[in-house]
Structure 1
């Protein structure tokens, strides 16, 4: 649904059961719908499944037709490999997308020509595409920044084998360069005045992220934004950085007037967890999302000049108020003395004493949980469980040194951080440590399985959704002796010369000391479905209690409503069977 400035409906689009990944405004004329579909890569890329990104222009005028980016073109593959913004050039709206060039030899079908995308400018009125920058060739990886005039003004090249990188400005002038073993360099955007570029690097020695600003005309880079950045705030139509939202969810904007207005707005929501969801380019109107205690997700549109706010909608109208389990931050100390912060959700209507527990580690593992409404945690809490979501070492939002503390700790301290949280809950009198299950998805699914194989004697059951089960099968190719930034990144996570079998739940299946539920999407392109099949076979061969639930048509992210609900039902039912709340 599209609404006008008064909140009145303007147009509705029926898009069916598609996986929407983002919505971008094209001025006041249309919206850009970015979605994904699971498909095969073709013979050039090994015929593997991949989540292909595609885009449609949905005009607000009913007399204009929907435009599909890169569709029905014989020289560009029908897939978007990177979105680089929307710009208004000479009064016309253009979109900037990475795409694979197509071509053919005599008698052959069209095929992808390059291993990396070129940059195309697309007329968003009719879909006409024009190449404006060439692709890199392996081992070089390339990214661009498109300026307000629609020009690829900044190019970042990273050598995938050596980690050498270079940022070039207009005309190919070198602006900055260096070496990053893991290729940890990112273009952020243009400076507020438009005559500089902001980029980010990761210092492996200091375990810290650093941001720099350098003039497009050349000069010495200067450190900027020396804070924990939660979100970058940029003008969507010229790529200029307007400021950031920091870890405390407070805005830090370059313009003093905008900063003063934003502070007043955030003060209106000071009693709830608030995030900046979207904004007009001049920040005169913003959309905020709130979530937390008594709030299962609410959206507001706010006039920053007057402070007037209008509720746009509720995410879960049927789950409000006291039906929501109390959410708080729970802090404890790991066995080696490291301070850990976790999110604790308690069952509504029950005393926080001697409760059964669900340990719910997040995925990533470079991610983190916050004190907001979590549908999975709340489902378990509604059945009488205390739910602990530890932000174990390696998690984000605590600084780079805390994230780096997880390097090489898969199945080791990242795992014991979870059971240390359970022990701390029991010591506080909140939980009964003998009545605990562990549940997770992706890396959290790995942690759930490791909790009953690599570890023993802690949990009554384990639920893994789209989880990694065999590290050699999953990462062995990256660790097979080749030296590049991808291998360095995997080695960083798992540890140099790690014994992958000793850390793999599949290889340790004979040690499983609790029933296991495996749930996996057949279309998972991040962690292949085969990972759970291998785990099921290993547990069955070892005579262990295991159930595999296959989700047809589902990807890694539980994007479909039906299979997401099934995941919820199956996981709650399994935990209730093996670890009853009453």
Structure 2
């Protein structure tokens, strides 16, 4: 029951206060400021986290440990800096007659039009949704470096029934629709678009790239490139995700997995779109072999790319956060 109440409170915080629109497009039905509700200031957010952990912690020592971890990961000076220098909006938009949630982040002070990064999140359904903490940890630093960052939560997220997510099926349209919004964002340069996919978002990126020629460079972090081979590495994905999410999976297992695996169409990739591959060598969720073998295939087909493997790091790459951000910023600044 508590988890449901927490989810509801976060959802209300996301869509509580209207804001002046960044995206001037009829398909965008509502924009709201990210820095509202419990995220209006650091004290409100800190109080919310404190109250939540007070209920969950087994004792005072465990509670103080959790609060310290929060303060170290999200210090007040970082929060205040992002709030002062970035504009962040959540929005709703229509795709295939389905309402989808999205978000956009950009610097407040803009002298010239900025390159755009389309961010494809990981997870599935509600799991892995990009809420405020994830934005602050992963996306605000990129926007601060001079990018407009826009992303989709994918269809069905933040609803009672999140089964609309087909894990690389019709939900890819939710990503492609963002490309059409970019000309309607005053601060965005529609001729400099990049795409960044994390985990499942890596798969999402490659599938989306089959349907657009407007993206000039891409990067993936811990992306799955061969879902068939991944079943031997992490077999529980079949029961927990594939069977539930992928339409007609039991009847067309091989075809559906291959359709979501870029290793099956490397020869169709554009030699004009460079690919950055980043992975942790100790990733237990998506085998590092996905990126290693994909890099070899890119070599064979002369697709420009760079492979970065962080030794000893896991799926989330928190031990190399600064290096990761530097790699991404340098990559997209070079090719956009």
Q: What is the TM-score with the length of structure 1 in the denominator?
A: 0.45
Report deviation, 1:491: 2.0
| Correspondence for 2:227 among 467, 471, 475 | 471
Aligned twin of 2:89: 328
SS for the counterpart of 1:501 is helix
Q: Which residue of 2 aligns with 1:271?
A: 40
Which piece of structure 1 moves more, 519-528 or 509-518?
A: 509-518
Give unpaired runs (5+ residues) of structure 1.
1-210, 212-224, 232-243, 251-266, 291-296, 300-311
The one of 203, 206, 214 equivalent to 1:458 is 214
DSSP-derived class of the 1:346 partner: strand
Change in Cα spacing, 1:376 to 1:270, as seen in structure 2 (3 Å) is: closer
Q: What is the CA-CA distance between 1:567 and the residue it aligns to?
A: 1.0
How is 1:289-300 mapped onto 2 (pairs within 5 angstroms)?
none
Greater RCO between the two (CA within 8 Å, min separation 6)? 2
Aligned counterpart, 1:438? 195
Q: How many angstroms does 1:552 deviate by?
A: 0.5
Q: Specify whether residues 316 and 445 from structure 1 end up closer, same or farther in structure 2 by C-alpha distance, changes over 3 A only.
A: farther
Higher helix content, 1 or 2: 2
Which one of the candidate residues 239, 256, 277 is aligned to 1:487? 239
Q: Secondary structure at the match of 1:537?
A: helix
TM-score (norm 2): 0.74
Alignment of 1:31-42 (within 5 A): none
- Size of the aligned set, in residue pairs, is 293
- Higher alpha-carbon Rg: 1
Within the candidate set 363, 366, 375, 2:137 is matched to 375
Find the residue that maps to 2:332 and give its secondary structure.
Answer: helix
Alpha-carbon distance in 2 for matches of 1:270, 1:571: 27
Output aligned runs, 1:560-571, within 5 Å: 560=319, 563-571=320-328
Q: Secondary structure at the match of 2:223?
A: coil
Asked whether the equivalents of residues 342 and 388 of structure 1 are also in contact (C-alpha less than 8 Å), the reply is yes
| Contact 2:203-2:223 within 8 A present in 1 as well | yes
Alignment of 1:145-164 (within 5 A): none
Change (3 A) 1:318 1:247: closer
* 3-state SS, counterpart of residue 576 of structure 1: helix
In 2, distance between residues paired with 1:268 and 1:424?
27
For the Cα contact (< 8 Å) 1:471–1:501, is it kept in 2? yes
- Distance in 1 of aligned mates of 2:56 and 2:146: 47
> Any gaps of 5 or more consecutive residues in structure 2?
15-35
Partner of 2:28: none
Distance in 1 between residues matched to 2:107 and 2:294, nearest whole Å: 32
Residue-by-residue CA offset, 1:545-564 (whole Å, 9 max, x unaligned): 1110110010111131xx22
1:447 matched to 2:201? The reply is no
Task: Please list, as runs of the form range in 1=range in 2, the aligned pairs for 1:332-343 lying within 5 A after superposition.
Answer: 332-334=93-95, 336-343=96-103
CA contact (8 A) 1:354 1:426 kept: no
